[in-house]
Homo-oligomer: A and B are copies of this chain.
């Protein structure tokens, strides 16, 4: 067991995966000698060299498109897109090819690759560096989307993503990179993609969240218990697509109330889909409308106001109270 932060845990997983499997390649802008603008690829270039840790030209479609070619050839590329706000440049390659080769060729070819990108607001960055648009990938058939919430699950999920035979979008909540440390076991571990975790047990209301929003959600759950004596169950989705509806439905069937928390825009976001699934599978158990505490449907404001945009514990708490008093 070692205490480490999420940045270090992701870095550890990369080291482990590259050591274990020669086919694993890391590529992206500044991932080599510079070790990534967030230093997530620290030590890789020194250890594995130019051939397997590739500084690419500044071209996101180029990065993802050539990674697709490498994956088709039998390698396992992990590409870093420097910020999620620039992965729109390569979305067509993911949508049109990474997500389709298996289906297109009836299983003859596949694209086992990972696209990593730091996403989300909260670090006082400039425009285009704070978006949280995982719902676009969740809406895209053929892609899996994983978002860790802490060091330990970040490392385990990255291993699962790398081992997955299909393309996985691995979004890293950059506000969490160095936010806290956690025990990470010495032995390599994985976590099944598609499985949520109950981060806190409770019986009165279900809170669903993921990524950077998990912490304010957990804080709100604490406050709720302290101040209102209400026991909130908190579910950490971990996989956004395909997400673990069963765990949510089971919890909501017990609590009858639910609040979904995420920082991405509300309309057609993950919250909407969770509501739809609860509606479809736990309709008769619901005692109040499912509440969405989310980012708003405007642009993430420039950083002087980003905290007002982000769901925080107080907004979650209010959402819970509104749901409880419905």
Q: Which residues of A contact B (CB under 8 A)?
A: 85-86, 88-89, 91-92, 95-96, 99-100, 103-104, 127-128, 133, 135-136, 138-142, 241, 265, 267-273, 275-276, 279-280, 283, 286, 288-292, 296-299, 326
Contact = CB atoms under 8 A, between A and B. Distances in A.
Contacts of A267: 138-139, 241, 273
Contacts of A297: 141
A289 B279 contact: yes
A283 B139 CA distance: 25
Given A100-B299, A279-B289, A299-B100, A265 B127 contact: no
A96 B88 contact: yes
A99 B296 CA distance: 15
19 contacts: A86-B92, A88-B92, A88-B95, A91-B91, A103-B298, A138-B267, A139-B267, A139-B269, A141-B297, A141-B298, A141-B299, A241-B267, A268-B269, A272-B272, A272-B275, A275-B275, A276-B292, A283-B286, A283-B326
Contacts of A299: 99-100, 103-104, 141-142
A98 to B, nearest CB: 12
